[in-house]
Amino acid sequence: MEFATDAAGLAWVNLCSRVTSRVVVRVASFTATGFPELEKQARRVSWERWLPEGALVQLSVVCRKSRLYHSGAVAERVAGVLEREVGAEWVKGAADADTDDGDGRIAGAAPLSGDSYSGTDSVRDVQRVLVRIFRDRVTISVDASGELLHRRGYRQAIAKAPLRETLAAALVQGSGWTGTTSLVDPFCGSGTVCIEAAMMARRIPPGRARTFALELWPEFRKEALISARERGEESISTAALPPIVGSDRDEGAIQAARANAERAGVSPDIDFTRKTISEVTAPVGEAGTLLTNPPYGVRVGEERALRDLYARLETVLRAEFQGWKVGLLVPQRGLIDQLRLGHEWRIDTNNGGIRVGLAIATVSARGRAANGR
């Protein structure tokens, strides 16, 4: 997704985007078929706007279908330009996995020792520069986010097969849940789906407890981020929420979920309880949404061992959740067919290296599942 904005807008999207992994700013785009052209054009970038003098820089380079095909050599040339222009030091190593476009070759740098976001650290002095070359067209961008935006800072305790915060938020949005009816997650793990749902209903900015790379840019107006934070805090709702219920058979997962919810500021809004799937019941009141990331295949265990679990899930859905919308993040074939939900697919993505989608259905009052459309 591309968009044009100013400093205020850039601060706001980093602070408040729930499903974005990283925000980068394009600083140059040009054609280069050789290293002299690459270096000449790179020197034209006003690096002093984006990098402080003597900055530590991570370089992520992807080259595809171009005469400049050696990503390591490209990284060396760009690093040389940054050293001459602003005295930047290239931190060499393996590139972040999230920066790969697919089948390109990458050269870059791994996070420095201790470069992990805790939610309370000051802005780190490592800046990321991304170089993409496709069919001889070079695009250079600087990272405005720093740590990936799914790292909100609250999920310090995790359970088995954790779900990224951004993906959990995407599930909530994709399900159509608006915060006006109950939400249940019977395989809640460390509570990410419930926590993201409560934060969304409360309009809590997901980035409120973290810092961003743009804060170190020499020309970034710090008051833009201060204003965005103030605006975000003012938008938080204090109205009562409908029941948000998370359960898991693992007591350790429930303890982790409660601790994470406390750090996220939504502990009073969520009821986390240890239950097996057979013990799950719907909250009293009108029908709501059951939204979950159940175990599947190689991610947690073998498919054959899970068939009984899915059979019990189907029994619970038909007995307890008639009229409810059901959203399951599952592989697009296999166990989901066992539930006979008559589902439709929303969201096509990867989770733990497995291709998955969000299956949406509505359990009819007649005990059969109707298509969610």
Structure tokens at 34: 């050789």
pTM of the model: 0.86
> What is the residue type of 40?
K
Q: How many other C-beta atoms can be found within 10 angstroms of the C-beta atom of residue 373?
A: 9
pLDDT, residue 258, reads 97
Contact 62, 131 (CB under 8 A): yes
Residue 72: other Cβ atoms inside 10 A = 14
Q: Is the Cβ–Cβ distance between 250 and 256 less than 8 Å?
A: no
Nearest to 151 by CA among 328, 14, 7: 14
pLDDT at 77: 97
DSSP state, residue 101: -
Residue burial 141-169, b: 16+ Cβ < 10 Å; e: rest: bbbbbbbbbbbbbbbebbbebbbbbbbbb
Answer whether 321's CB lies under 8 Å from 361's CB. Answer: no
pLDDT value at residue 304:
67
Per-position b or e across 107-138, b if 16+ CB within 10 A of its CB: bbbebeeebebebeeeebebbbbbbbbeebeb
Closest Cα to residue 213, out of 153, 129, 140, 132?
Answer: 129
In 10 A of CB 366, how many CB atoms?
9
Report the interhelical angle of 71-86 vs 35-43 (nearest 10°). Answer: 30
Tokens 């979920």, residue located:
257
Q: What local confidence, expressed as pLDDT, does residue 310 receive?
A: 87
Query: 102 burial class (0-12, 13-18, 19+ CB within 10 angstroms)?
Result: exposed
Give me the residues paired with residue 108 across strands. 93
pLDDT tens, N- to C-terminus, the chain (373 residues): 899 999 999 999 999 999 999 999 999 999 999 999 999 999 999 999 999 999 999 999 999 999 999 999 999 999 999 999 999 999 986 444 344 333 333 333 333 223 333 333 344 479 999 999 999 999 999 999 999 999 999 998 777 778 999 999 999 999 999 999 999 999 999 999 999 999 999 999 999 999 999 999 999 999 999 999 999 999 999 999 999 999 999 999 999 999 999 999 999 999 999 999 999 999 998 999 999 999 876 544 566 678 888 889 999 999 999 999 999 998 867 777 777 778 899 988 988 788 899 999 999 754 444 444 3
How long, in residues, is the chain? 373
d(CA 314, CA 15): 39
Name the percent of the chain in helix, strand, coil, to the closest 5.
Answer: 35, 25, 45
Torsion of CA 163, 169, 171, 177, to 10 degrees: 140
What pLDDT, on a 0 to 100 scale, did the predictor assign at position 93? 67
**pLDDT at position 225:** 97
